[in-house]
Amino acid sequence: MQQNASEPSASASEPSAPEPSLSSLVGEEYEVEVGPVAHGGHCIARTAEGRVLFVRHALPGEKIVARVTEGAEDSRFLRADAVRIVEASKDRVEAPCPFAGPGKCGGCDWQHAKPGAQRRLKGEVIAEQLQRLAGLTPEEAGWDGTVMPAEGDKLPAGQVPAWRSRVQYAIDDEGRAGLRKHRSHEVEVIDHCMIASEGISELGVEKREWPSLASVEAIASTGSHDRQVVLTPKPGGRLPLVELDKPVSVLRVEEKDGGVHRVHGRAFVRERADGRTYRVGMGGFWQVHPQAPDTLVKAVMQGLMPRKGEMALDLYCGVGLFAGAIAERVGETGAVLGIESSKRAVEDARHNLADLPRVRVEQGKVEQVLPRTKITEADLIVLDPPRAGAGKQTVKHLAALGARRIAYVACDPAALARDLAYFATAGYKPRTLRAFDLFPMTHHVECVAILEPVREEG
């Protein structure tokens, strides 16, 4: 995933890649004291010479030995792993997963931290991004500073919630399934992923060999018993016979156009949220945590408080999760317009919401389709943009529609903070902000901000 880029000396954010150099420092070790957490699953430290280190597998306040994994003499910063803990934080635990740690699987960032500490670290990142990029304190953002666990995820230290309903396995040269190492194409072969849901684990992907494949994505619906694998062959590779421990549908990613095509079984899985069933076709997007769809719908609906007869926009609407929830609440006299760039997702959204004639779904990029609609006003807006955020021009357009409330669902706190700054310029401020730990053991966090127009003092 692409992370936020920033100057290491100015903030605790995920940096851009260092410039290549002949004077590599990879393998060098430094004993350092660990500073604050940074956006991206690591912490900041400085060497005695003042070099900035972005260190994985460390915790704030620890004294560690850090081994450089990327960077050179003339780099603005170095990346490193904590390979020895000299003085441990009280929040440290032994990583439950045998594949987590320096030089191993890059899927989890915080296996070495207690669950409560992970949520505090995520909260610190959100607070830092809000302050630095939007000039907002938690109080000004309407946030109490907490990151809430999903239902059932509040487990003792040393236990890992099995939450991930979609896992993309990389395949090594010998046909074995594993996960990518951090910032690497190298594969860490595994026999079990601890954060994979039961529906994924019961397929037995790791027990099979996958000759001629580059990746195997396993999908286990939490709204039905649907199971699916999406196979990506290596260039010129042939599709193997798929025999897993549970019945699955099989899809293939085509080498020529990157399109996904059905091999056998259903081309979709059925998911359930807010009392409705949603078809998600061809490996399309759906929230990965089983509790995420209902958690986010509840937060958005509580924030927007839709009224009968209102007109709403659902931007980046996917297969129609929020559009369906709003349409149920605005009633037959209301209207909802969804906009989504994925052609397949639009087909699914139209199918999923076919019983709600007050919903219309348009296909295309939000910044292109929205102006073409000639819509000049809306009562409610919900947007769930990709990791890069909505951007200045889209925010400006949305603010001009005069919605009484806007719900912004964000998977990246930096993008959220940037867009909140744009909204502030356009006359909207946060009413409330809530944060949810829907990606345990990783640095990712989901936020829902409810915005309203700034009322002039009179």
Quick check: is 447 catalytic?
A: no
Residue from 43, 108, 411, 447 carrying the catalytic annotation = 411
Q: In whole angstroms, give the CA distance from residue 344 to residue 156.
A: 41
DSSP state of 164: B
Q: Tell how far CA 324 is from the center of its chain.
A: 22
Q: Where are the beta strands (DSSP E) in 176-317?
A: 177-180, 187-189, 213-220, 227-233, 249-253, 260-264, 268-273, 276-281, 311-315
Q: Report the C-alpha gap between 98 and 168 in whole angstroms.
A: 19
First-to-last CA distance in the chain? 46
Q: Which amino acid is at 176?
A: R
Distance CA 377, CA 56 (A): 47
One-letter identity of residue 354: A
Contact 399, 428 (CB under 8 A): yes
Q: Which residues contact 258 (CB under 8 A, 6 or more apart)?
A: none
Residue the block writes with tokens 């994505």:
217
Q: How far apart are CA 325 and CA 341, in angstroms?
A: 20
What residues contact residue 457 under an 8 Å CB cut-off, 6+ apart? none
Kindly list the catalytic residues. Answer: 411
